[in-house]
Structure 1
Amino acid sequence: MTSPADRLVGLLDLERIDLNIFRGRSPDESLQRVFGGQVAGQALVAAGRTTDGDRPVHSLHAYFLRPGRPGVPIVYQVERVRDGRSFTTRRVVAVQQGRTIFNLTASFHRSEPGFEHQVPMPDVPDPEKLPRLADEIRDRLGELPQALERMERRMAFDIRYVDRLRWTPEELREAEPRSAVWMRAVGPLGEDPLVHTCALTYASDMTLLDAVRLPVEPLWGPRGFDMASLDHAMWFHRTFRADEWFLYQQESPIATGARGLARGLIFDRAGRLLVSVMQEGLFRRHD
């Protein structure tokens, strides 16, 4: 049995079927749709495999157009938009069963010196002082629901919420639209910087919309809304390892019109700002 971290690395190891065309696996899981972070991570792998290794990605902008079907391979078609002296641009279209389900534009930048500033990392407890997500749910409910138990076995990231999870209506009324989690891959991811970048891209879609949901429903209880990611944008500021602890600070400035906007900042343990993230999600109440 391979570990969840090994399976994540395998998921990001696309098959090259032509110069600019790649095929990615899509695990046959009991989900309604393919996880959006998987598609974004695989698309970024496809884009990165058509560039020179000395230009790391500095930004991506993507749209989720249709839900992907679990168990069905996804083909990634890369357009080499531009190869400049300092910047490289790639556009990727993800196709499944002849239909476009996702598109992404990524920009890669040759490293060069410049001035620096950043916002400070929030003062939060160290991850070792916080419970694992599964342990916190098990302690609150007395047992881990079967669906969450299956998810825990295959989850490639250790997630630890900085604030205790809220479950009751009284707790939800006190909640503000913000959340923070420590995360890291549950095992080593190797030495390829692109794999670490794409693994963090995968993880960035796991909890970002928590900040939108917090004031209205428990994060890990029954859902009152159908939820889907609409778009996703990331800016990569520094190199990092996704198998080392990073803090994901998330907040939602607005939710209206059945859509909620969330933004996130990702820091390493030294307090360096690594990545900035924005995402809009669709929230439709169950009939």
Structure 2
Amino acid sequence: MGTSSQVFVNGLDRVCQVSDDNSTDPTADALDNPVRDLLDVLDLQPAGRAQVSPEVTGDATDADVSERNLDVFVGRSQVTPHGRVFGGQVLAQSVMAGGRTVRSVEGLGERPIHSLHAYFIRPGDSSHPIRFAVENLRDGRSFSVRRVHAMQYGHTILSATLSFQTPADGLDHQAAMNSVPDPDRVRTAAEELAGVDHPAVRHWLRRAMDVRTVEGALYLVPGRQHSAHQNVWMKAIEQLPDDPLLHAAVLAYSSDYSLLESILRRHGLVWGDRRLRPASLDHAMWFHRPGRIDDWVLYEQESPSASGGRGLGLGKIFSIDGTLICSVAQEGMVRVKQD
């Protein structure tokens, strides 16, 4: 695998043009197993360091700007029927990239992620490697902050700021989990899609996550009740390694699956509606307590508003014992093309 070392550029986006000879082809073993495929996608490879020299413009002086050292990683994408990168994948890879640079700082100890704020800027190409340039904004006594840019073809496709905190004691309260049927009483995706043969359906059935919607999935059939609320059970279909950073990354990955569905449900829409033009615009997560995503979690979702071609989704993710693991917010473009 090629590396880029101490490369001087005037723009952050150009970092991804350095040493594009990295091979990110998945192994046959990974492609045959959705969980191994996901773990392979999240196993980012170091691609050296880059140094960005900002241009001085206007009233800025040399004292106002400074050269920034970036850690660069490279990773591949999961294969998708439409050739566009799944946004949750890039979120998860950004968590891994930022977390690795925190772990690499001597003396910090273990600092789990506690918040993530990201903007989806451009669609990604699932056939091309993604580069992740990580900037160390601060390592304080309790908090570490990283800025991550995911890039392809000389452009940023996602920009995220992540914060990590040394575990600490303090005030403690949480919302209560909804009372819903247990996951074994909710239909699986295979049961929801039985008898349907389509590339998108085959893709849905090859997920690394078991996703079960209490109110009924919105793949092809709209819900009977046009409510802006729903509850989704999720877990990885196999046990994952005992790495808190990895579990946080897979939580970020799976949090992007269905959060906009509360908007679709409210308006009687489904993912299979050819008029629908959805796209994630931004994504925020707050990690409150440790949790595992290879055990069942309940994802409570609601949409307080949709307007202007956009919709807002809010979510809370609980472990099966009722512990609130994290809170999620996402705004998406939800346009319906008129016939």
Q: TM-score higher than 0.5 here?
A: yes
Match of 2:52 in 1: none
Question: How far did residue 178 of structure 1 move?
Answer: 1.1
Query: Alignment length, in residue pairs?
Result: 281
Larger radius of gyration: 2
| 1:195 equivalent among 246, 250, 253 | 246
Further displaced range: 259-268 or 149-158: 149-158
- Aligned positions of 1:239-254 closer than 5 A: 239-254=290-305
Residues 1:39 and 2:69 are matched in the alignment: no
Q: C-alpha offsets along residues 177-205 of structure 1, whole Å, 9 cap, x if unaligned?
A: 11111000011111111111101100000
Q: C-alpha offsets along residues 21-62 of structure 1, whole Å, 9 cap, x if unaligned?
A: 000102343224210000111011100000035100000000
TM-score relative to the length of structure 2: 0.79
Equivalent-residue separation in structure 2 for 1:14 and 1:165 (angstroms) = 32
Structure 1 residue matching 2:95: 3-state secondary structure: helix
Residues 1:12 and 2:22 are matched in the alignment: no
The residue type equivalent to 1:281 in the other structure is: G
Equivalent-residue separation in structure 2 for 1:231 and 1:94 (angstroms) = 14
Further displaced range: 45-54 or 212-221: 212-221
Question: How far did residue 7 of structure 1 move?
Answer: 1.0
Kept after mapping to 1: 8 A contact 2:81/2:200: no
| 2:207 equivalent among 139, 155, 175 | 155
Q: Which has the higher contact order (CA 8 A, sep 6+)?
A: 1
Equivalent-residue separation in structure 2 for 1:146 and 1:27 (angstroms) = 18
Over 3 Å counting, the alpha-carbon distance change for 1:145 and 1:286 in structure 2 is farther
The residue type equivalent to 2:324 in the other structure is: L
Equivalent-residue separation in structure 1 for 2:217 and 2:132 (angstroms) = 37
Q: C-alpha offsets along residues 230-267 of structure 1, whole Å, 9 cap, x if unaligned?
A: 00000001111111100000000000000000000000
Kept after mapping to 1: 8 A contact 2:81/2:199: no
Contiguous gaps of at least 5 residues in structure 2: 1-28, 50-70, 104-108
- Following superposition, which runs of at least 4 residues in structure 1 exceed 4 angstroms of deviation? 165-169
Equivalent-residue separation in structure 2 for 1:175 and 1:55 (angstroms) = 42
Structure 2 residue matching 1:50: 3-state secondary structure: helix
The residue type equivalent to 2:148 in the other structure is: V
The residue type equivalent to 1:71 in the other structure is: S
Q: C-alpha offsets along residues 124-183 of structure 1, whole Å, 9 cap, x if unaligned?
A: 011011110221232xxxx123224421442010011111346777x55x3111111100
The residue type equivalent to 1:6 in the other structure is: R
TM-score relative to the length of structure 1: 0.93
The residue type equivalent to 2:76 in the other structure is: R
